[in-house]
Amino acid sequence: MALLDLVTTKSEPKSGRIMIYGEPGVGKTSMAVNARDSILVQVEDGADQLECNRLPKVKNWEDLMNQLAMLYKEEHPFRSIVIDSLDAAEAMCLDYIYRTHYIGRTKVNITCLNDLPYGKGSEVFTFTWRRLLKAINVLHEKKGYTVVIIAHSKVGDRIDAVNGDSKFHTVAFQQRRSVEPFRESMDAIIYLAYQVTPKDSGSSSKYDTYTGKRIAYLSPKGACLAKCRYAGMPDEILLPSTPAENWAKLVKGMKLTTEKDDWTPPSSDKE
């Protein structure tokens, strides 16, 4: 077969790896569980009031890895996996390292990564943390699932974050290195925020006004972190109202295979 016979020009619809982050209570999880045939992996509390398919609350890092392995190996009707949240997963990863690390055959009691000699803490954390990213990529690439990851933004002046203030504003992890592997791998990183109407110059109020609606930012604006690999998507989307409507409008242009009627569940893989 000649080289030119291998060249294609059309985009190929696929499932997605999507991170949605924002302040607590903005509606990240309630929107994400409206992905078609979704299952919620509960790494933190806070979603008990949602009516959705869910697995039991994750107890620790080992339990999280086991639940993701079950979703990979066993047959099930779910096509979208929602992990809530990445911040809680990071805390479990650190706890796992503190509980289980050995140097040679000697169990080491540590309370922070800096307790490990010769700068090994960073190396051990990166190796362990990337196991989660590998599991997500395997679910996406080999099984065809869409994986939606929920994360939290720093508590701070969210208005300045999107209006151009230079303040640092991104996903809030204990370890700054935690976010970098996910920034590279995600197909979309979406900053979800409340819509704000700037205060009138003649108003006596010191504060801007919240309209009650949400905006999804799909490209960097001000100091908020965002990106989108899907062609033709706008820089920002004003979301309608209900979580179901919000999800439908958010992913409409992404053409995710997992949102289509003709999606076929993958076969089980017990290797």
Is 90 exceeded by the pLDDT of residue 228? yes
What crossing angle do the helices spanning 61-73 and 120-141 adopt, rounded to 10°? 20
Band of pLDDT at residue 172, cut at 50, 70 and 90: low
Residues contacting residue 164 through CB under 8 Å, at least 6 positions apart: 221, 222, 223
- Paired with 39 in beta bridges are 81
Band of pLDDT at residue 208, cut at 50, 70 and 90: low
- AA letter at 122: S
Is 50 exceeded by the pLDDT of residue 140? yes
Mean pLDDT over 174-187 rounds to 79
Structure confidence at residue 174 (pLDDT) = 55
Mean pLDDT over 233-259 rounds to 91
Query: Which of 72-76, 138-142, 193-197, 250-254 comes out lowest in average pLDDT?
Result: 193-197
Mean pLDDT over 11-30 rounds to 86
3-state secondary structure of 229: coil
3-state secondary structure of 44: coil
Share of the chain above pLDDT 70, in %: 80
**Exposed, middle or buried: residue 154 (CB in 10 Å: 0-12, 13-18, 19+)?**
middle
Per residue in 61-105, pLDDT (tens digit) is: 999 999 999 999 999 999 999 999 899 999 999 999 998 887 667
3-state secondary structure of 83: strand
Task: Find out whether 228 and 250 touch, Cβ atoms under 8 Å.
Answer: no
Structure confidence at residue 10 (pLDDT) = 61
Is 50 exceeded by the pLDDT of residue 256? yes
Distance, CA of 16 to CA of 44 (rounded, Å): 23
First-to-last C-alpha distance (Å) of the chain:
34
Per residue in 38-65, pLDDT (tens digit) is: 999 999 988 888 999 999 999 999 999 9
- Paired with 189 in beta bridges are 19, 227
3-state secondary structure of 50: coil
Structure confidence at residue 210 (pLDDT) = 64
Residues contacting residue 119 through CB under 8 Å, at least 6 positions apart: none
Structure confidence at residue 38 (pLDDT) = 95
Is 80 exceeded by the pLDDT of residue 198? no
Residue found under tokens 């051990």: 124
**Exposed, middle or buried: residue 7 (CB in 10 Å: 0-12, 13-18, 19+)?**
exposed
Q: Which residue has the higher pLDDT, 208 or 62?
A: 62
Structure confidence at residue 54 (pLDDT) = 95
Cα–Cα nearest to 190, from 230, 132, 135: 230
Q: Which residue has the higher pLDDT, 90 or 263?
A: 90
Distance, CA of 67 to CA of 24 (rounded, Å): 25
Structure confidence at residue 194 (pLDDT) = 85
Share of the chain above pLDDT 90, in %: 45
H/E run at residue 18: strand 17-22
**Mean pLDDT across the chain:** 83
